[in-house]
Structure 1
């Protein structure tokens, strides 16, 4: 099996993959100081709960936007799984697509991985929205070339900034306002829910409309990330929601890297 490691700014997702299907997944807070031994102790218990041993892993792939996490994940793969990790976008796991932007090296690995998976599963022009620490909008053309996109503050970041800057505002859960679709809040907490949730929906719909107008051709909108399902409940802007898109992209790159004569 493949052990896929998706290292984000907030969390690391470890997943056991069979093909592009996720067999098991686990999430841990990102901490670049965490050692390979700490990861191993944690994973050992989780593998045991699934009735698996470390030797069931025959390949490890890592996508990271946190450079300081790279070394310890490399040691984890080599020391505990007997596999030198391959890194998304490097060597045999190169993107295999054109990165048509001004600074290709600055593109986050997670966004490129999403583009790989999206193009593999969906024909035509695509807009990929990933709800993570930041909310990113990525444009992939019908040939599979990455054309650029948008970076906006993630909804958690926006809410944290609001609460920290305004002493009297309470911390609220991120959820859709439950009672009605009214956008006239009758108390402080409801007004915050409306502002955070419907404000974010309006941003998504507005930016997608502008992206589609600039692309000039029909474009399918894909959503991924932990909060994608939350917004899918209240907008019809998404053509598909795939919370496993990044992991599928890692599996695609790992399979390409394992083929002889690549």
Structure 2
């Protein structure tokens, strides 16, 4: 069995690979990640043969995860994922390939292997990222925008009268400020996604992932694929190549 760890901007997520199948694990927001909590959760996991890790977050969080993993499973093979110019059937469009977020790189690898043909991968997380892959595995480039939470927080920080709220409201024209912010930020995210997809070939598969994927998908004029484990799938693919 192998362990897959995705350290994102907001959450630490993990899953296991057994018989080429991903078994969903757990996730913790960063504030919940402590050494004690990781040990108590991971000591129940059967000892993995290999661990693949993707990290776009703070270095100290990665160091803590590595420390706990080596304490629980001394000598385990750890494979850190890194963005590359070309690998696993994908060609990176970035001028400096290593600057492409490793989570985006892994999502492109997973899209290439799990969703053959042209694909658009949209991560609806802390940031909203859009990456387009053609039928030959060539990355066409991408877009980055603030996610829903960052949009709301920027309004509360930049204006005196607009307060931050995580509450959900009915979508549409609103009759109070909190609901207006909710629908306004969601409309911005939906507009970005629909505008990006409208410029791509009609046969392109659109794959949404990230914490707000389900919410944004409900307002789109088309039906996307929702794949919450696409980064873990990418990690699984790079482990197969190391086997």
TM superposition score category, shorter chain reference: 0.7 to 0.9
Change over 3 Å in CA distance of 1:72–1:84 after alignment to 2: farther
Q: Unaligned regions of 5+ residues in structure 2, if any? A: none
Q: Distance in 2 between matches of 1:244 and 1:44?
A: 23
1:193 aligns to what? 182
Counterpart Cα distance in 2 of 1:155 and 1:223: 14
Shift of 1:123: 1.5
Match of 2:135 in 1: 142
1:1-262 alignment, distance < 5 Å = 1-18=1-18, 19-29=20-30, 38-39=34-35, 41-47=36-42, 52-53=44-45, 55-66=46-57, 68=59, 69-82=61-74, 83-89=76-82, 95-173=88-166, 175=168, 177-178=169-170, 182-183=172-173, 185-210=174-199, 212=200, 216=201, 218-258=203-243
Kindly name which structure, 1 or 2, has the bigger radius of gyration based on alpha carbons: 1
Secondary structure of the 2:113 match is helix
Q: Judging changes above 3 Å, is the alpha-carbon distance between structure 1 residues 132 and 10 closer, same or farther for their aligned structure 2 residues?
A: same
* Cα 1:165/1:100, change in 2 over 3 Å: closer
Indicate the larger mover: 17-26 or 128-137.
17-26
Say whether the 8 Å CA contact 2:6–2:232 is kept in structure 1: yes
TM-score (norm 2): 0.86
CA contact (8 A) 1:78 1:85 kept: no
- CA spacing shift, 1:2–1:30, aligned 2, 3 Å: farther
**Separation in structure 2 between the aligned mates of residue 155 and residue 186 of structure 1, nearest angstrom:** 20
Question: How many pairs are equivalent?
Answer: 238
Give yes or no for contact 1:224–1:242 (8 Å, CA) kept in 2. Answer: yes
- Please give the per-residue CA displacement for 1:34-80, whole angstroms capped at 9, x wherever unaligned: 8xxx43x32332246xxx34x53221110112362444433333332
For 1:189-219, what per-residue CA distance to the aligned partner results, in whole angstroms no more than 9, with x for missing partners?
2222221122321222122213x1xxx5631
Partner of 2:25, secondary structure, is strand
Work out the CA distance in 2 between the residues paired with 1:182 and 1:139.
30
In 2: Cα distance, 1:256 partner to 1:127 partner: 24
